[in-house]
Structures are given as structure tokens and as C-alpha cells.
Amino acid sequence: MDNQLLNWPGIIKHSGDVELTYISDQTEWDNDSDLHHFEFDESDYLIDSTGKLFNLSKREDEYVKPESSGRSMALDEILGLIKAHAAQKGSCCVAKIYAPTIDEAFKIVASLEET
């Protein structure tokens, strides 16, 4: 896949939904056909572990290819998405969610998926 600019792990933010999808690495992306064959909305995007945003509308042979949007998201914005996601999942003390880095913030999403 020609997305060497993408730094795993990543999360997918679906338009109009607070639910986030955690993706640990390229292997998980490649092996989970639900991820790369899904019909993403034009405003859905993937955030990588450095905060870079990737569009999910480019398709090649029916395979979604994350494509850099040239935009990025700050840690505080990502934490806001994660807090909304955690609240939707019924987590308590959502206001106290904090991580010093984006990579650490993504680990929170991964742990929420395990529950």
C-alpha cells in the first residue's frame, strides 16, 4: 500500500458519529476486509498516531487506500473525540481522560474496544 506517510496505530472517525474505530497496524488494516472494503462517507477520515488526517474515499481495485489530506489534528482535538467516544460507550469520569501524546490517546481507544 502506498501510504508510507501513515504512522500506525490509527483511528477512523465516521462522519456524524462519535464511535471511533481503532486500527493497530498495517496488518490489521490489510487483514480486516470490513475496514478496506467499506463504503466510507466522503467526510470519514483516518487519524494516524502523529495526528495526520487521511481521506478514505480513494479506491483501487475495490480496496480503500488512505490518502493524505495534508491536514492534521492537535492532541486536544483528538482527546475531545475520544471523550465523546468514551461517553457513548458508557465510561465514567470521561472529563478526566488525558494522554500526553496522540499515540497514548489511541491506547485509550484500544482499551475501550476491549470492554
Give residues with Cβ within 8 angstroms of 67, minimum separation 6: 3, 54, 55, 56, 57, 58
**What are the sequence ranges of the domains in the chain?**
10-109
Per-residue confidence (pLDDT) for residue 34, from 0 to 100: 82
Rounded CA-CA distance 1/10 in Å is 15
pLDDT in tens, 30-64: 898 888 777 888 899 999 999 999 999 878 777 88
User: Taking 60 as the threshold, does the pLDDT of residue 4 lie above it?
Assistant: no
DSSP bridge partners of 53: 47
pTM score, whole prediction: 0.89
Instruction: Give the H/E segment covering residue 24.
Output: none
